Amino acid sequence: MDAARERLAFLLETVVLEAEHLQATDQRLFAEAFTPQRAATLRADALLAERLDAFIARFARLQDTAGDKLLPALLSRLGEPVASVLDNLDRAARLGLLAQTSETWIAARTLRNLMVHEYIRNPERLAEAVNQAHEAVPMLVGFVQACASFAAARRLV
């Protein structure tokens, strides 16, 4: 197996596992609504704080790995030019890998910074950002699944 094929296979395996972990954490964190009142209890509720940390880290890691590493590797294996993140996401949408627009992906990407910077200080803004990230989880997971199916169907790995 050549290096590009091995890298793509490695990245696909990685994002599939990351997506599974994110979904599991998402289910646990959102077993009940994540409200500003719940966010305000983070200092006293270590389990909730750890779940939230895991959710934020897994959300960010999956988005980074999928968008910044997997997508360029997949495009490269297809012989497509690799360009800016926005251009790559637009190309992914044209290939049917991304159901939403590239702007939706970029908006979800900004949530990471908001979740990290509003952590504990502003429960209302934190709850809003975390809930928006929760709504973006299916987009990330769908992208991973689409990339895996696309690569397998074209025997890229």
Which regions of the chain are under pLDDT 50? Answer: none
DSSP state for residue 118 in the 8-state scheme: S
Report whether 15 contacts 144 (CB < 8 A): yes
How far apart CA 144 and CA 141 sit, in angstroms, is 5
What pLDDT was estimated at residue 115? Answer: 85
Q: Are 102 and 86 in contact (CB under 8 A)?
A: yes
What pLDDT sits at residue 1?
A: 66
Q: Which residue has the tokens 């997997």?
A: 70
Report the pLDDT value the prediction gives residue 9, as an integer from 0 to 100: 98
Q: Which pLDDT score, from 0 to 100, does residue 107 have?
A: 92
Any residues with CB less than 8 A from the CB of 76 and at least 6 apart, and which?
4, 82
Q: What is residue 114's predicted lDDT score, i.e. its pLDDT?
A: 84
